[in-house]
Amino acid sequence: MKINNTSLLLVLVILAISISNAVAQNLVSNPGFENFIGSPTAAGQLNRATPWIPLGSSPDLYAPQISLPILPCDVVSTPDNVGGYAQSRIGGNAYAGISIDPNNNTREYVSSPLTVQLTAGELYRVEFWVLLADSSRYACNRIGAYFSNGAPLQAGNSVINFTPQIENSNIINDTADWVLITGIYQATGTENYITIGVFRQDGASQFQKVDLGIKNSACPAFDNAAYYYIDDILVKPVNEVVKIDGDSVLCPGDALNLFCTVNVPFWWSDSNSPTDTISTLPILVATPTTPTTYYLNGINKIDSVHVTFVNPPVVNLGRDSLLCRNDSIKLDAFESDIVTYNWSTGDTTSYIHVKDTGIYYVDVYNSGCSATDTVIVSDYLENDLFDLGSDSAYCFFNGDTLHLNGPIADSYLWLPTGETTPDITVLSPAIYTCTATKSNGCKSTALISVREICEPNIFIPSAFTPDEDGINDIFLPNINNVENFNFHIYNRRGQMIFSTEDNSKGWDGKYLGKDAPIGVYVYRLNYLAYDSEGSKIKKKILGTITLLR
């Protein structure tokens, strides 16, 4: 069976509570009238469902009957009875029934002692379910619950003229689905009874005629009154929950959404007017323009959140552009206060390089705000590739030269020389780069590696005259384009009388500080050098030198 929930006081956002916990804490004994002393055999037998006591003419107990009576008003079985069809709630098999007569100002009430006396200042959730009988002539509002010290006194069938602490303001005319009446009550500390019914005079209650025919002429409780079934009464202590969830940082112009988690009646206010109600809805939607504190006010508790503002990030990818063919452009979204970047390409860096046409965008975020920018790369500009030839080896020592030519363009930049002419002459080894720029702004770059490779250039004299006349006094080979040079001279006995690794130093014809004798000496030259193919090889030269004086 479908159940409709109608709040008596306010729409409450409540935490889920299991049925077992609810029953365990319920201060109402026999809340569903399931425990009764013998099945009812006639109307007006509510007192069989102890500890409930009837007030008024004859509140009814409905439960399975062993045998149906002859009088129709005494058909108080479930689910079919004198009032029509009414299935009890949540698998039970019993409920109570009361009559509210709008013509004679008569009332019926059900009353029961609580298991414990309520505690002063404590909060209690109150719930009970009602269903209008099919045969009821009227429907009404103002059905409520009244807490008192002892059962209230009723003069005959008249109205108990006390103000109920829990009361429904809507006319309940549903004959198919049970309707929930609920509210929060703060106890004074003397209450030990609960009584349910209509505590208002006929003029103060609203009645609505729902049955224009005569269904049970022998049962005035239905013919001339509003008749309601009552089931599942709950009174339980409430641990007040008042909590605000939602953002506390806003971007200028954004709407604020604050959500409440409460289990008591509540109202919203703000720091501009803390005592004025700005909303009673579970979600507070506001558009503050300055930092503001918002309050969620419960019965005894208050929660608050202070809302501040942050400036949105600034992102500018520049204007839509064209792309040089065979080149890329840099899209840069960097700002010092931006925390994250999310590009349409999937990149998360502050910038990307784009090589293809298309639509590119980036979403950026700082500590609370976001911004987006988009750029369109719509077409390609002509930008031909070129090359400077193959990497080459030359011997500039021998006077070799190399001429490099750039492509047809509007400007040039050669590195490392810094020249800006269409062509250059290379005179030394290096990696040469040419950047050519066309009139459309597109640049192309090419490079070439130029190495210097020279074959060894060696001349060794056959004689020298160390007579200190300034002519041919030093034996010094003329050696170029070699590495790891070492030179040794030996006498006839095989003794090494001179050695050097510096090709600028020669032998002065002395040995151990004295003039070496005239004669023939042997030399050996070791070195590394490049051959004509550019390969480094180890070389050795042996020969003789004649010392003359």
Residue 363 falls inside a structural domain: yes
Report the Cα 148 to chain-centroid distance in Å: 51
Q: Are residues 105 and 191 in the same domain?
A: yes
Q: Are residues 283 and 429 in the same domain?
A: no
Residue 118 falls inside a structural domain: yes
CATH of the domain at 108: 2.60.120.260
Domain containing residue 225: 4-237
Q: Are residues 137 and 22 in the same domain?
A: yes
Q: Residue 410: its pLDDT value, please? A: 92
* 498 vs 512: CA distance, rounded Å: 10
Q: Are residues 143 and 84 in the same domain?
A: yes
Among candidate residues 303, 198, 288, the one with its CA nearest the CA of residue 245: 303
Residue 315 falls inside a structural domain: no
pLDDT tens, N- to C-terminus, the chain (549 residues): 333 333 333 333 333 333 334 445 899 999 999 999 999 999 999 999 999 999 977 899 999 988 777 788 899 999 999 999 999 998 889 999 999 998 888 999 999 999 999 999 999 999 999 999 998 999 999 999 999 999 999 999 999 999 999 999 999 999 999 999 999 999 999 999 999 999 998 888 888 988 766 666 678 778 889 999 999 999 999 999 999 998 888 888 888 899 999 999 999 999 999 999 999 999 999 999 899 999 999 999 999 999 998 888 889 999 998 888 888 889 999 988 888 999 999 999 999 999 999 999 999 998 778 899 999 999 888 888 888 888 777 776 666 678 899 999 999 999 999 999 999 998 888 899 999 999 888 888 999 988 777 777 788 899 999 988 889 999 988 887 777 889 999 998 889 999 999 888 999 999 998 999 999 999 999 888 776 666 777 888 899 999 997
Q: Residue 21: its pLDDT value, please? A: 43
CA distances from 377 to 227, 286, 306, 384 (A): 76, 40, 44, 19
Q: Are residues 420 and 527 in the same domain?
A: no
Q: How many domains does the chain have?
A: 5
For residues 53 and 38, the answer to whether their CB atoms sit within 8 Å is: no
Q: Are residues 282 and 334 in the same domain?
A: no
Q: Residue 24: its pLDDT value, please? A: 52
For residues 422 and 413, the answer to whether their CB atoms sit within 8 Å is: no
Residue 318, Cβ density class (10 Å: 0-12 exposed, 13-18 middle, ≥19 buried): exposed
For residues 75 and 82, the answer to whether their CB atoms sit within 8 Å is: yes
For residues 127 and 90, the answer to whether their CB atoms sit within 8 Å is: no
Beta bridge partners of 312: none
Residue 290 falls inside a structural domain: yes
Rounded to the nearest 5 degrees, what angle is found at the Cα of 297, between the Cα atoms of 296 and 301?
110
DSSP SS3 for 319: coil
Rounded to the nearest 5 degrees, what angle is found at the Cα of 274, between the Cα atoms of 271 and 279?
100
Among candidate residues 257, 336, 351, 264, the one with its CA nearest the CA of residue 299: 264
Residue 401 falls inside a structural domain: yes
Q: Which pLDDT tens digit goes with each residue over 73-114?
A: 899 999 999 999 999 998 889 999 999 998 888 999 999 999
Q: Are residues 219 and 354 in the same domain?
A: no
Boundary residue ending a domain (283, 309, 335): 309
CATH of the domain at 361: 2.60.40.10
Q: Are residues 282 and 176 in the same domain?
A: no
For residues 349 and 341, the answer to whether their CB atoms sit within 8 Å is: yes
Residue 293 falls inside a structural domain: yes
Boundary residue ending a domain (405, 424, 452): 452
Residue 517 falls inside a structural domain: yes
Q: Are residues 113 and 213 in the same domain?
A: yes
Residue 543, both tokens: 């020969």
Q: Residue 23: its pLDDT value, please? A: 45
* 111 vs 54: CA distance, rounded Å: 6
Boundary residue ending a domain (428, 452, 476): 452
Q: Are residues 90 and 203 in the same domain?
A: yes
Count of positions (residues) in the chain: 549
* 278 vs 281: CA distance, rounded Å: 9
Half-sphere exposure of residue 129, counting CA atoms within 13 Å on the CB side? 21
Q: Are residues 38 and 79 in the same domain?
A: yes
Residue 383, both tokens: 């930008």
* 340 vs 370: CA distance, rounded Å: 9
CATH of the domain at 267: 2.60.40
Beta bridge partners of 172: 140
- Residue 47: phi and psi, rounded to 5, are -65, -10
Among candidate residues 331, 8, 260, 309, the one with its CA nearest the CA of residue 145: 8
pTM beyond 0.75: no
Residue 542 falls inside a structural domain: yes
| Sequential DSSP letters for 217-242 | TT-HHHHSSEEEEEEEEEEEE----E
Q: Residue 385: its pLDDT value, please? A: 85
* 160 vs 274: CA distance, rounded Å: 39
Cβ neighbours of 343 (radius 10 Å) = 19
| Sequential DSSP letters for 4-31 | EE--SSS--------HHHHHHH--BSST
Q: Are residues 30 and 141 in the same domain?
A: yes
